[in-house]
Chain A
Amino acid sequence: MATVKALKTVEIMSGNNHNLQEGKNGVKPDGNGRVNGRNGSSSYKSKKNWKDNFYESFEETPLLTAILTVMCYGILVLVGHIREYLRFYSIEQNKGHTEPKIEGFVPLFQSWESFYTRNVYRRIRDCWNRPVASSAGAYIDVVECKSDDHNWSLELTEKKYHVMNFGSYNYLGFSETTGPCADSAEQCVRETSLSVTNSRQELGYTTVHQELDRKVAKFLGVEDAITFPMGFATNSMNMPCLVGKGCLLLSDELNHASLVLGSRLTGSTIRVFKHNNMADLEKKLKAALLEGRPRNHRPWKKILIVVEGVYSMEGSIVRLPEILLLKKKYKAYVYLDEAHSIGALGPHGRGVTDYFGIDPKEVDIMMGTFTKSFGAAGGYLAGSKALIRHFRLHSHSSVYSAAVPPPIAKQVISVIDIISGIDGTKKGIERINQLAWNTQYMRRRLQEMGFIVYGNKDSPVVPFIVFYPTKLASISRKALERGLGVVVVGFPATPVIEGRVRLCMSAAHTKEMLDKTLDILNQLGDELNLKYSRKTPPDFKEDDSLLNKE
């Protein structure tokens, strides 16, 4: 069954997918519900057909691998249960910090949750939270963690691994310790102050914030913008200002935790649509308008579609042109979270709107963070003047919480100056092009090697699937020893059978670094048997003109 699906994928990959039976919106979903291959469709009426250059792949998990992966988790859980019994009867020494039983108190944690942490996550927990003793640049110094008791306790050693950094979200390589950005931040610490702890409405609005807000708005090409000191809080604190009871929130199933929390805090009805699946979204929009609110059938007050630009676990890019068509047809509002796409996508680094050549004013609420491409911290909301006025007055952050620390604001300002060429150099555009090239090169080579790579060919988040939790741990440890720092993600952050390695591309990576990384991954792929892909390699090639420095 699965093999048949995999073979179908091959057909789609081969390029002549126009004669394949297509879904309603020109999309051919695969067995796992996601769209594979180039999504060309001649029915789309637009000056430039974006779909011709929109290549995404999500290869189906082979059935046997899926079964074995589930078995792998099953064995881990089984052994865990046996050892819990042994620990309960004090046959095995309990090394964990478990909750002491206090008479009359209800235990603080649900048993399954802490069971999973103790027995599954604990075994491989050295693959996460690795301490770093340098900036998150192209190379990173990872401090070695040693454990004598099977990861119950981890101790830092003096040893440091100097490894290539494919784990940090340093898309444009602005996480730097020297250069104009770091200098302006340093100067700001000296001249202004390290932090402004008042809220904006209580004498915490400084000239630095004014400058930052204006710069961000101008960079994005919208009327106005407002900034906050934490990206996560930008979503969770501000979504409740937009919708409330009697409103409908349509959220992509793979939206980030901050959007999920923000949605929950709004108090509106939340419905989830399948990842990037426009047919499903349209179905839900239509149903919402025809049926109205549950029970009383009154019409909804507003409908807000919440999507991300680039999905950080799948590496897919939102099908924004179609979302905007649906938005117009059904009069919904669109909230676009560009945490991973701002700076990293589009010929000018202005995110998904730039990538698709869409006027950013068509999106109602543009959100993004400064943590990733800007090498700083915090987030922004941008849109029409009226929208931002509303946030200035009613955002939780404007009233109750601290404003952006000035040095961090200065870092963002100088990065924007460089990307948009205000500083008079071409360094910004060079970085954007380097990132685009690196991404395509890495994705093509990995797919050619036979890895199952997820996502869009232009997405700087490059996940490849390794399935087993055991393989996750070994690839992470072995890669670190050989000089490569990667992020691995497993259940519960991904579906059980889709444990993956994630590479984050950066403009700071050189071609030599990429080749070295590919060599390491190629070796590891053979050693650990990770090359699961059965499809023919993709038909795209990186655009070498990006590297021509004029």
Chain B
Amino acid sequence: MSSTMAILPATWDMYDLVQSFLRTPTYHLVVEVCLVLLIIKLIFSKSYKPEKMVLSEKEKEELIAEWTPEPLVPDIPEDHPVIQLMEKNIVTGPPGKYINIRQKSCINMATMNFLGMVANKTIEDEAVRCIKKYGVGSCGPRGFYGTMDVHLDLESKLATFMDCEEAIIYSYGFATISSAIPAYSKRGDVIFCDEGVSFAIQKGLVASRSEIQFFKHNDMEDLERLLQEQAVKDKKNPKKAKVTRRFIVVEGLYLNYGDICPLPKIVELKWKYKVRIFLEESFSFGVLGEAGKGVTEYFGIEVDQIDLITASLENAISSIGGFCVGKKYVIDHQRLSGLGYCFSASQPPLLAAAAAQALMLMQEDPGMMIKLRENCLKLHEGLTSINGIKVVGLPHSPVKHLRLVEPSDDRDLDNQTLQLVADRAIENKVACTVARYLEKEEKFLPPPSIRIAVNCQLESTELDTVISVLAKSFNEVFAL
């Protein structure tokens, strides 16, 4: 008995406790329970009472009645200069080598018709043949009976031309790169992007919701610095680095600067820092390289080194649409994840057929690219002799920007000056345009300029006219 007591003293204590519990009067119990509850409440309740906002129905109604939203759009005067200018410079007829503005037939230095594909007879024949076979629209997205055989044909031709495994076409140039980037780069990934990229890329970056690191335009040291910073970050957090995809996004030939990205160095950095390259070739496709395959051909770099090449079909090819080329496993992903591909109607068959025809013409006659280069060089030389402006862009680039040597502090004023020049040039039968930007939305706004696009069909005499008219216009405006 005593040994059991020694082993289980606690049990006996408990027994005592229960016994005494039963003997206590009820009111005692009630008070104790209340005390315990009070302690629990004190422990768990907040030390202060948050003010609870309870609005009466009347107050709610007042609040709703009180609110006035901002107007949907800002008030823009009916005679806003840009709108007036659009109406004044309305185009009639085809924007080919010559363009009809203000009842004048002007030499067209505004359309990115580098290879003279606009108003080409064989392309038009092909388009008409397509209307007769497929009608105008495709009436559906690619997934739902919107894939015509001409689309497949164009895709395979583009892939063969670019020496890639697969190509995918979009129905709008702007939607191509802005859909392609978010198809691969997601939240948490890192994109290293050149400051000089065009607006479509900027929108793709926003849509991807990735972390964006901008490096100075064509500055490889700056890019390497950012990559090193990232490498340090990755070392600190290898777990995160394992799932963080890294991309470099560059343009082949920059629309806003007329220069070419240093691709060999970028490829070197790719392998050194394990980053993938997205190359946007809208302005270099059909322009750079012997056969017009773009920057890779220009630098003699294998296409395999680049993870994704995108380009618009709206410049050298002069159709509407865009495409991406690359390895099959890369491109096929866009067929289900490229928003602008899956959820949009497919490209109208006539535009796809026209693009295929233009591509064929380009392959048949590489002389176009040579002629284009000659024209670019000649024009560049002529334009650099004009006083008061600098020609921005490489001599053999078909996109050139004419900027003021001494810009004022006021951007609007500079734009007006340049617009005066463009107006005078149009009066003298040379059509060119001031480069337009959405000034508030551009990440890095390029300085104001007149943008010149070179056409391979221009004859030597026509180039002379362009140079002399532009020189005259600038001189007249500077003399004001």
Interface on A for B, CB 8 Å cutoff?
97-99, 104-110, 113-114, 117, 121, 128-137, 140, 142-143, 156, 165, 167-170, 175-178, 181-182, 185-186, 189-207, 210, 229-233, 236-237, 240-242, 256-258, 261, 264-265, 286, 289-290, 299-303, 329-333, 364-365, 369-372, 374-377, 385-387, 389-390, 392-394, 396-397, 399-402, 405, 407-408, 411, 485, 487
Contacts and interface: CB of A to CB of B under 8 A. Distances in A.
Contacts of A370: 137
In the complex, the 10 A-B pairs of residues with the closest C-beta atoms, listed nearest first = A193-B94, A232-B344, A230-B172, A135-B135, A371-B345, A390-B73, A136-B139, A104-B274, A257-B343, A168-B139
B18 interface: no
Contacts of B372: none
B324 to A, nearest CB: 14
Interface stretch (B39-47, B83-91, B407-415): B83-91
Given A106-B246, A133-B149, A167-B145, A199 B86 contact: no
B437 A399 contact: yes
A329 B28 CA distance: 61
A371 B63 contact: no
B118 to A, nearest CB: 6
Contact of B63 (A130, A233, A290): A290
Contacts of B112: 197-198
B73 A257 contact: no
Given A108-B245, A401-B172, A205 B90 contact: yes
Interface of B: 55, 60, 63-64, 67-70, 72-76, 78, 80, 82-83, 86, 89-96, 99, 101, 110-113, 118-119, 123-124, 127-128, 131-140, 142-149, 152, 171-175, 178, 184, 186, 198-200, 203, 206-207, 209, 241-246, 274, 276, 307, 314-315, 318-320, 327-330, 332-333, 335-337, 339-340, 342-345, 347-348, 350-351, 354, 431, 433, 435-438, 441, 451
A392 B76 CA distance: 11
A402 B433 CA distance: 15
Contacts of B319: 194-195
A132 B343 contact: no
B67 A130 contact: no
B140 A168 contact: yes
A392 B80 CA distance: 11
A374 B74 CA distance: 32
Contacts of A121: 336
Contacts of A143: 149
For B92, B127, B431, the residue with the greatest tally of chain A CB atoms inside 10 Å of its CB is B127
A110 B189 CA distance: 12
Given A198-B111, A203-B433, A405 B72 contact: no
A232 B176 CA distance: 12
B78 A389 contact: yes
7 contacts: A133-B148, A193-B95, A195-B351, A197-B318, A232-B343, A333-B72, A396-B438
A119 to B, nearest CB: 14
B94 A258 contact: no
A236 B175 contact: yes
B91 A207 contact: yes
A204 B135 contact: no
A176 B244 CA distance: 49
Contact of A109 (B198, B333, B350, B436): B333
B328 A185 contact: no
Given A136-B139, A207-B90, A230-B344, 9 more contacts: A97-B332, A106-B241, A131-B149, A135-B135, A142-B145, A202-B433, A389-B83, A393-B80, A485-B145
For B83, B90, B110, B243, the residue with the greatest tally of chain A CB atoms inside 10 Å of its CB is B90
B423 to A, nearest CB: 12
A499 to B, nearest CB: 15
Contacts of B143: 128-129
Contact of A375 (B69, B99, B137, B203): B137
A167 B139 CA distance: 9
Given A190-B128, A405-B351, A131 B147 contact: yes
Contact of A407 (B119, B127, B172): B127
Contacts of B315: 197
Nearest to B145: A167
Given A181-B136, A182-B132, A206-B92, A290 B76 contact: no
B76 A130 contact: no
Contacts of A165: 145
A241 B72 CA distance: 10
A175 B95 contact: no
Contact of B438 (A196, A300, A332, A399): A399
Nearest to B274: A104
Contacts of A400: 174, 198-200, 438
A204 B172 contact: no
B110 A203 contact: yes
B232 to A, nearest CB: 16
A28 B395 CA distance: 70
B69 A303 contact: yes
Contacts of B72: 242, 302, 333, 364-365, 387
Contacts of B96: 193
A264 B207 contact: yes
Nearest to B112: A197
A38 to B, nearest CB: 31
Contacts of A411: 136-137
B245 A134 contact: no
Contacts of A376: 136-137, 348
A218 to B, nearest CB: 18
A256 B343 CA distance: 8
A205 B132 CA distance: 27
Given A189-B124, A206-B92, A201 B74 contact: no
Nearest to A143: B149
A249 to B, nearest CB: 13
Contacts of A107: 245
Contact of A169 (B92, B123, B139, B142): B139
Given A194-B351, A203-B101, A376-B136, A331 B94 contact: no
B183 to A, nearest CB: 10
A333 B436 CA distance: 29
A450 to B, nearest CB: 26
B203 A389 contact: no
Contact of B127 (A189, A241, A375, A485): A189
A216 B199 CA distance: 28
A227 to B, nearest CB: 13
Given A129-B143, A167-B144, A200 B123 contact: no
A402 B173 contact: yes
A449 to B, nearest CB: 24
A371 B69 contact: no
A299 B1 CA distance: 80
A177 B139 contact: no
A179 to B, nearest CB: 9
A131 B148 contact: yes
Contacts of B320: 195, 197, 229, 402, 405
Contacts of B274: 104-106
Given A257-B343, A390-B74, A302 B128 contact: no
A137 B148 CA distance: 13
For A105, A165, A333, the residue with the greatest tally of chain B CB atoms inside 10 Å of its CB is A105
Given A303-B69, A375-B137, A140 B128 contact: no
A392 B85 CA distance: 12
Contacts of A206: 90-92, 95
Nearest to B349: A135
A236 B142 CA distance: 19
A159 to B, nearest CB: 13
Contacts of B74: 390
For B123, B140, B333, B435, the residue with the greatest tally of chain A CB atoms inside 10 Å of its CB is B140
Contact of B207 (A98, A265, A385): A265
Contacts of B69: 300-303, 331-333
Contacts of A301: 69-70
